[in-house]
Amino acid sequence: MKKFIALLLFFALSFTSRPLAFADFTSGHLVMTEVGFKPIEQIRVGDLVQAKDETTGKTEYHRVVQLFQSQADEAYHITVKGIPITTTGEHPFWVHGQGWVEASHLKTGDLLQDAEGKSYPIDRIEMKNSSTPVYNFEVGGVHNYFVTESEIWTHNNGPLIKLISKMLGNTGKNAAKNAGKSAVKNAKNVTRGTGDVTKVPGVVQNRINVANGPTRFSPSQNAGWGHAVDRHFTPGKNAGNFTVSQAQVKSILGRKNVIQKPVMVLDSGQYSRVVNTGQIVGTVKPSIPGVGGTQTTWIQVLTDNRGNLITTFPVPAPK
């Protein structure tokens, strides 16, 4: 009986105008890729994003195989570690002790997990009705990835694909996947993302304020120089690690060519710049394929709209 119902869903969804992957994030959400953080609207097919094998627990980089863009009428605003996450209600997050839980079913205090397996409680949740563009993508093989600079673990499938797969068993996985593809293909309100993002030429900031700890204008409470020191000057963590002194990094952040590097303005309120410092400053995040642990002259700097530092860390040279 379950298989019969699942097959009915499969055929019905093959002709629907609403995508099964309607579980998405608003623009500006950072996704960990092999070259550092990228806004979700900049992700392209073929990019390698950080993902986790649920069976082995191993975190590696997997290829993006499909992009989705649609319009959402309501969104859930979830705050974890002081960092806001805005997503549709269908989007699943890994909750410690529960597994995958859709955003609409999350509760304050639920423990979300990061790339290192550490758990952090949800500070608050709020649902708002507002029409906004949302983005998602399919990760080949493992179907999950990590969002925000805190690298919170999230799934890339909507609930209907998972339901059909479960009801049909192993033989239903391809059917569910094909149903999803067909639904997206037929959807009038969904377009294939190109990965392109509008850039405003010459957008610069006149300072990088290296504050010690959280700053008044930062969108994250766990931000500022204190965060950079805690995470990126400590060997052994799965993160880009500075090998020069804190004083040297502060000096680099004060250079005119670094401050006036044109920024990418993110909807989250963060401003991103990737800069070649011209000197070896540290090592690349160990888990990045091919370049993990190697020395680099490049850094990524995230600030708020007032130029207050959110975080900075070594990254590989852009390809």
Q: Where are the chain's structural domains?
A: 2-186, 225-315
Q: In the numeric block, which tokens belong to residue 189?
A: 């309100």
Domain 2-186 belongs to what topology?
Answer: Endonuclease - Pi-scei; Chain A, domain 1 (2.170.16)
Threshold 0.75, pTM exceeds: no
List the beta strands (DSSP E) in the chain. 25-26, 30-33, 36-39, 48-52, 59-80, 83-87, 92-95, 99-102, 111-113, 119-139, 144-147, 152-155, 241-242, 264-265, 271-276, 282-283, 295-296, 298-303, 309-315
- Beta carbons of 44 and 88 less than 8 angstroms apart: no
Q: Average per-residue pLDDT in the chain?
A: 77
Residue ranges for the chain with pLDDT beneath 50: 6-7, 9-21, 158-166, 168, 170-202, 217, 219
**What is the per-residue pLDDT across 209-228, written as a single tens digit (0 to 9) for each?**
887 655 554 545 556 888 88
> Quick one: pLDDT at residue 113?
94
